[in-house]
Amino acid sequence: MTDQTSNKITRRDAIKILAAATGAVVLANIPDKWTKPILEGGVLPAHAQTSPPPPPPPFSIVDCGVPDTMCASANSLVTITPATSGISMRYVLTPSNPAGTIVFPTQLNGTLLTDASGVADLYIEIQFMTFNINDTFTVDWSFDDPDDGIDTCQQVITYDGAC
């Protein structure tokens, strides 16, 4: 292949200058043929941009009680901080003995609102004759709305038959 000369610079010299000017990124990629340059793009869409982490949820769970015992009834209390009324707390009540009768709550999965002290109170009542000693009732607490908080808490209440 022979170089074509222009008035001022040969093709070979031009290629050398391009190679020297473009450095490592393009050096091995000097195109063999000229094609129309393409430029596409712009500012990244919002969902692709780096953004600061979201602020933490405003509430957290302080506690929901230590392991406890009961016979006919018990209360499972969950406390949030800062103490605020009207925050919806979700409970899931799971008896170890599904054959037993739970009088209250009527739904094993539901929500309760916190009071001004930041406490939600789940009253549990059972037909104790339908349960066996050491059957357990597990209460899992969480925020109904993750925007309120993401903490969870679990309390286990054991039927002790001491009625």
Partner 1 sequence: MLSNVIPSLVDGFRMENLDGEFVLLHPARDAVFYMNRTGALVWQLCDGSRTVDEILNLLSAAYPDSAEQIRADVPALVHSLIDQGILKSG
Task: Tell me whether residue 18 or residue 150 sits nearer to partner 1 (CB atom).
Answer: 18
Shorter beta-carbon distance to partner 1: residue 26 or 129: 26
Q: CB nearer to partner 1: give 18 or 71.
A: 18
Tokens 């309390």, located at residue: 155
CA separation for the pair 70, 83 (Å, rounded):
27
Give 38 or 133: the residue with its C-beta nearer to partner 1. Answer: 38
Query: Taking the complex as a whole, how short is the minimal distance between the CB of residue 13 and partner 1, in angstroms?
Result: 7
Q: Which is nearer to partner 1, 25 or 116 (CB)?
A: 25
> Residue 86 and residue 90: Cα distance in Å, rounded?
12
Q: Enumerate binding residues for partner 1 (CB under 8 A).
A: 4, 6, 8-11, 13-15, 17-18, 21-23, 25-26, 29-31, 33-44, 48-50
Phi-psi region of 23 (alpha: psi -120 to 50; beta: other; left: phi over 0): left
Q: How far is the CB of 53 from partner 1 (least distance, A)?
A: 17
For residue 55, the SS3 value is coil
Angle CA 153–154–158, to nearest 5: 160
Q: How far is the CB of 34 from partner 1 (least distance, A)?
A: 4
Identify any residues that bridge with 136 across adjacent strands, giving them in sequence order: 158
CB of 59 to partner 1, least distance (A): 33
Written as one letter, the residue type at 86 is: G
Residue with tokens 């000369």: 5
Taking the complex as a whole, the smallest distance from the CB of residue 56 to partner 1 amounts, in Å, to 25
User: 34 near 124, Cβ under 8 Å?
Assistant: no
Rounded CA gap, 79 and 117, in Å? Answer: 8
